[in-house]
Amino acid sequence: MENSEQTFLGVLIGGVHTYFPKEIIRGISKEADRENVNVYYFLGMQTSAFLKHVLGEHSNASYDYQFDTIYDYSKISGLDGMLINYGTIGPYLKKDDAQAFAERFHELPCVFLTEKVDMANCYSIISDNYNGMYSVVEHLITEHGCRRILFVKGPIGNTDAIERFEGYRDAMKKHGLEVRPEMIAQGDFSEFIDCEVKELLDRNPDAEAIAFANDEMAYSGCRVCIQRGLKVGEEIRITGFDNNELSRRIDPPLTTLFQDGRGMGELAVQNMMRILKGEEVSFCRYPTRLILRESCGCGREKTEQIQDEKSLEEELERLQEEVTEKQLQFVEFQRKSWLLPMLMKELNEDVSDECEFCRRILNTLTGMGVSSSYLFLLDHPVVYDGEKEWACPDNLHMASFCRNGSCYAYPLEKLRW
């Protein structure tokens, strides 16, 4: 690749309502700005528990797989390389495993995050999940004398989740502790698993500790235990994995494993730029670090301390970003609260004018802060049942677009085919 050429990277990622994918995106965006790289994000499905929390008990997941067709559009986007966070994609693909998924995209160089793929033109970055989880479970056993330690898994088929469970299982085995099926619950990396945690505790009234495969599920665990009158850190010990922004601020603060999603995102861009320059890139197992806090029973004298100027600067930067994000979320909520009713009113008024109907849709996105947007129509409806091989359509017809605050629409009769 010539140095004078502009580089375009695609990011395939799902579950962006959770902490770790958001941290990866922050890292990718930061490093892309440094490298003057253009990034396109192809956002897949959220977890079913998250959608049920937002949309209610009647949320229907039958057609969630259709959202995953967005990934195939990356193949016609003129990209130079792909950054694929497979850990947030794999659980929602009906038929692909990581290797088969990579087959669809490896004409371009691909950097896989949270998944190891052995294929030409594919490179991987993954957290040290096994040793991280092993260390926190061993801490519960050796430092706190726990014997009856339960475990809540992440999504089925997710490599991070599998490796963390293996770390738990092997730490228990090393110390001669039995792991029975009733001691395990299936989670999905979201905090909306209260029912699963309640059932797990009902099956194990003598539980001494629960190790969760990530922090957000651990929040659910803390919530359920508190509702049952159990003192977290004393009567039951709870640990997580991620060290997200709330872990040190909940009561009691959460013992967890720090995995640097932001650093992994930055490294993914750095590795891709090396690949595009023809340099060698090797598989990376990204280190994790045990963070001891009070939810496991450690006293304040053992909990995490800010020890140097660099740590203080990093913490201040995270706090500033957190405050900014909360402010933006509030502004977004305000916009949505009045824009959506207004949009429905305006669309009803324009239902007889197809051209204005299309223009109005994108004009609303402009009002929500989207600087440029495009609306494309297919030649004809495409039926996708999730079982047959998905084929990207041959043609897409631009019906309307917005740029620099101005929106335009083409008369639909000119798009007839």
Q: Where are the domains of the chain?
A: 8-128+261-286, 129-258+292-302, 350-415
pLDDT score of 134: 98
Is 307's pLDDT higher than 50?
no
pLDDT score of 101: 82
Is 266's pLDDT higher than 90?
yes
pLDDT score of 222: 97
pLDDT score of 342: 58
* Token pair of 334 as six digits: 């305000």
* Token pair of 286 as six digits: 């990204």
- Mean pLDDT, the chain, integer: 83
* Token pair of 159 as six digits: 């490599």
pLDDT score of 58: 52
CA end-to-end span of the chain: 39
pLDDT score of 95: 45
Confidence of residue 322 (pLDDT cuts 50, 70, 90): low
Short-list 123, 92, 75, CA closest to 21 = 92
Confidence of residue 263 (pLDDT cuts 50, 70, 90): very high
Rounded percentage of the chain residues whose pLDDT exceeds 70: 76
Is 283's pLDDT higher than 90?
yes
Residue 379 CB neighbour total at 10 angstroms: 12
Residue 117 CB neighbour total at 10 angstroms: 21
C-alpha distances in Å from residue 415, one per residue of 355, 363, 376:
11, 20, 11
Calpha distance 325→307 (Å, rounded): 26
pLDDT score of 417: 46
Is 331's pLDDT higher than 60?
no
Q: What's at 193, amino acid-wise?
A: I
pLDDT score of 206: 96
User: For residue range 28-72, what is the model confidence (pLDDT) as tens digits?
Assistant: 999 999 999 999 999 876 545 444 544 455 555 555 566 667 888
Strands ordered across the beta sheet of 372-378: 372-378, 396-403, 406-409
pLDDT score of 411: 77
Is the CATH number 3.40.50.2300 carried by domain 8-128+261-286? yes
pLDDT score of 402: 87
Calpha distance 280→271 (Å, rounded): 9
Q: Are 392 and 74 in contact (CB under 8 A)?
A: no
Architecture of the domain delimited by 129-258+292-302: 3-Layer(aba) Sandwich (3.40)
Contacts of 107 (CB under 8 A, 6+ apart): 121
Calpha distance 86→81 (Å, rounded): 15
Give the residue-averaged pLDDT of 271-276: 96
Confidence of residue 224 (pLDDT cuts 50, 70, 90): very high
User: For residue range 135-170, what is the model confidence (pLDDT) as tens digits?
Assistant: 999 999 999 999 999 999 998 888 899 999 999 999
Calpha distance 393→381 (Å, rounded): 10
Q: What's at 344, amino acid-wise?
A: M
Strands ordered across the beta sheet of 237-239: 184-186, 149-153, 209-212, 237-239
Calpha distance 180→210 (Å, rounded): 14
Contacts of 337 (CB under 8 A, 6+ apart): none
Residue 314 CB neighbour total at 10 angstroms: 13
User: For residue range 3-34, what is the model confidence (pLDDT) as tens digits?
Assistant: 557 899 999 998 787 778 889 999 999 999 99
Of 39-43, 270-274, 400-404, where does the model show the most confidence?
A: 270-274
User: For residue range 359-381, what is the model confidence (pLDDT) as tens digits?
Assistant: 777 777 776 677 788 888 887 77
Give the chain's count of helices (H) and strands (E): 10, 15
Q: Collapsing DSSP states into helix, strand and coil, what is residue 246?
A: coil
pLDDT score of 149: 98
Are 8-128+261-286 and 129-258+292-302 equal in CATH topology?
A: yes
C-alpha distances in Å from residue 234, one per residue of 53, 181, 400:
30, 25, 60
pLDDT score of 377: 82
* Token pair of 304 as six digits: 């995490």
pLDDT score of 344: 61
DSSP strand pairing (209-212 vs 237-239):
parallel
pLDDT score of 91: 60
